[in-house]
Amino acid sequence: SPKSSAPLALQFYFMSQTANVKTTSQPRKKKALITGITGQDGAYLAEFLLQKNYEVWGMHRRVSSPTTQRIDHLLSDQSGAGNQVRLEYGDLSDASSLSRIIDKVHPSEVYNLAAQSDVKASFDLPEYTGDVTGLGTLRLLEAIRNFAPNARFYQASSSELFGLAKETPQTETTPFHPRSPYGVAKSYAFQITQNYRESYGMFAVNGILFNHESPRRGEKFVTRKITRGLGRILAGTQESLSLGNLDAKRDWGFAGDYVDAMWRMLQTDDPEDYVIATGATHTVRDFCNVAFTYAGLPITWKGTGVEETGYGPEGQVLIRINPEYFRPSEVDLLLGDATKAKKELDWTPQVSFQELVEMMVDHDRELAISETK
């Protein structure tokens, strides 16, 4: 299918923010429950499902400061008509909350996007990550089995399962070799999802999604860290950026494209697992080069290893290496083959790598300028 431009993708993003979906035209709405609705993917998925006229429920955690910034525009409809997201408090570490919500909502589709999703942090929080990201999936499956056994279940599986990948590109049949407590926890979640499908006949699927980014990406993930830092450098509020391993290669796509694939996986006749990826891989250094060049600050790299430094056109230091950002074990190369999803789900990514980087740079340049006012 034809590729859209980055502005088009942004158009989708802004149009969906003001979507006024009529509620009266269909006899019975599908009900979706999204865990992790306050995260990057949760916000895009909620918009996507509201546009499809779903009744959308989200699970969020009790926290001392608000975490709903990404979905605030979906929580109140100023026109008075239209669809809204309904929120329930819950936590993947609290089985009773999951049972309560599933019993109350009786969803037709459940998207389990909640997780301790930071790979680097999982080395510092290994047990917590195993509990939430791994066992949390089991708790949710049990709640569904007991209170809404016909609900269709989507598990947010990850290319981190492949880790020290046994083959390139990675497909649905590539063996797993996770390289972090996060990857191991996601491996448990992947397999328990398959097990509930096989044991209880539940419609439960894994989307093995490769990295996907957007202007809503958390600021600690490397792409957003780069575009956020670049925006501030352009606005004059930050001098340089500190990064870790520049040689890591990732298959980066646009999050807006990937939530469409999640939905498609739950509309099939038979539950199956799918890889979702762009089929192109780039190093962290490539991402920096494209972003900084687009912003008019092409980088000249000098030195190697931890001494490697990125200089701007005036000889100013733009990027330094800080070993603090290295991981105890790294995933060097990820490259996905989404042929199965293309064939069976008719899914293709719409936003190219260049368009993705430009979208994020444009957004974060504006954001940094607005922060100076």
187 is annotated as an active-site residue: yes
CA angle (189, 116, 141) in 5-degree steps: 35
Least distance to ligand NDP, CB of residue 282, Å: 14
Q: Which CB, 117 or 281, lies closer to ligand GDR? A: 117
Which of ligand GDR, ligand NDP, none lies near 278, with the C-beta cut-off 5 to 8 A by kind? none
Least distance to ligand GDR, CB of residue 322, Å: 7
Q: Is 150 exposed, middle or buried (0-12, 13-18, 19+ CB in 10 A)?
A: exposed
Member of 9, 71, 98, 119 binding ligand GDR (CB under 6 A): 119
152-158 and 109-112 strand pairing: parallel
Least distance to ligand GDR, CB of residue 147, Å: 28
253-254 and 241-243 strand pairing: unpaired
Q: Which CB, 56 or 209, lies closer to ligand GDR? A: 209
Member of 99, 129, 174, 211 binding ligand GDR (CB under 6 A): 211
Member of 123, 221, 301, 311 binding ligand GDR (CB under 6 A): 221
Which of ligand GDR, ligand NDP, none lies near 243, with the C-beta cut-off 5 to 8 A by kind? ligand GDR
Which of ligand GDR, ligand NDP, none lies near 40, with the C-beta cut-off 5 to 8 A by kind? ligand NDP
Member of 37, 144, 204, 243 binding ligand GDR (CB under 6 A): 243
> Are the beta carbons of 49 and 263 closer than 8 angstroms?
yes
Member of 245, 289, 309, 348 binding ligand GDR (CB under 6 A): 245
Closest CA to 261 of 325, 205, 200, 194: 205
The rounded radius of gyration (Å) of the Cα atoms in the chain is 21
Residue nearest to ligand GDR (CB): 248
Least distance to ligand GDR, CB of residue 182, Å: 7
The three-state (H, E, C) secondary structure of 267-320, written as one string: CCCCCCCEEECCCCCEEHHHHHHHHHHHCCCCCEEECCHHHCEEECCCCCEEEE
> Distance (Å, rounded) from C-alpha 122 to C-alpha 188?
15
Q: Is 159 exposed, middle or buried (0-12, 13-18, 19+ CB in 10 A)?
A: buried
Catalytic residue among 99, 180, 187, 352: 187
Structure tokens at 214: 């957007």
85-89 and 55-60 strand pairing: parallel
Residue nearest to ligand NDP (CB): 39
- Within 78-117, which residues bind ligand GDR (CB under 6 A)? 117
Residue numbering of the annotated binding site for NADP(+): 118-119
Which of ligand NDP, ligand GDR, none lies near 113, with the C-beta cut-off 5 to 8 A by kind? ligand NDP
- Within 153-172, which residues bind ligand GDR (CB under 6 A)? 158-160
Cα→Cα distances 138→51, 198, 349, Å:
30, 14, 30
89: β partners = 60
DSSP string, 325-356: G--SS---B--B--HHHHHHH-----S-HHHH
Which of ligand NDP, ligand GDR, none lies near 132, with the C-beta cut-off 5 to 8 A by kind? ligand NDP
- Residues in contact with ligand NDP by CB under 6 A are 35-36, 38-42, 61, 63, 67, 91-93, 113-117, 132, 156, 158, 209, 211-212, 218
> Distance (Å, rounded) from C-alpha 123 to C-alpha 180?
7
Q: Which CB, 92 or 368, lies closer to ligand NDP? A: 92
Q: Which CB, 42 or 181, lies closer to ligand NDP? A: 42
Q: How many helices (H) and strands (E) would you count in the chain? A: 13, 15
- The reply to whether 330 sits near ligand GDR by the rule CB under 6 A is yes
Give the footprint of ligand GDR on this chain (CB under 6 A): 117, 119-120, 158-160, 211, 220-222, 225, 243-245, 248, 250, 284, 325, 327, 330-331
Residues designated as active site = 187
